[in-house]
């Protein structure tokens, strides 16, 4: 997913629209990531999951693997003192 500038969106809407139907497109503004353009179907899927409660037994293998392999960001160590241990 390569970012695209907001100006390029105006000039190449058809190409960007076609890409957004396949995958999310990051839009930059003044060199910084600003927005993400995605298909309506993907947006609806994400909104459904936003309020969906899942049990661990219902997670697929890919999601379980991602959870097991996840590492906290470095800045999380700032809160180590809040954990008893």
Strands (DSSP E) along the chain, which ranges?
4-5, 25-29, 32-37
Give the mean pLDDT of 63-76.
93
Residue-wise pLDDT tens digits, 20-58: 999 999 999 998 999 999 999 999 988 887 777 888 999
Distance separating alpha carbons of residues 68 and 60, to the nearest angstrom: 12
Domains and CATH numbers, the chain: 4-71 (3.40.1620.10)
Distance separating alpha carbons of residues 67 and 10, to the nearest angstrom: 38
* Unique residue bearing structure tokens 């037994």: 57
CB 34 within 8 A of CB 11: no
pLDDT at 84 over 80: no
pTM for this entry: 0.54
């Amino acid at each position: 997913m390569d970012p695209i500038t907001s100006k390029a969106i105006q000039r190449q809407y058809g190409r960007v629209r076609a890409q957004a139907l396949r995958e999310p497109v990051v839009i930059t503004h003044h060199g910084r990531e600003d927005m993400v353009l995605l298909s309506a179907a993907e947006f609806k899927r994400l909104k459904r999951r936003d309020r969906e409660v899942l049990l661990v037994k219902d997670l697929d293998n890919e999601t379980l693997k991602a959870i097991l392999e996840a590492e906290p960001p470095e800045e999380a160590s700032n809160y180590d003192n809040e954990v008893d241990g």
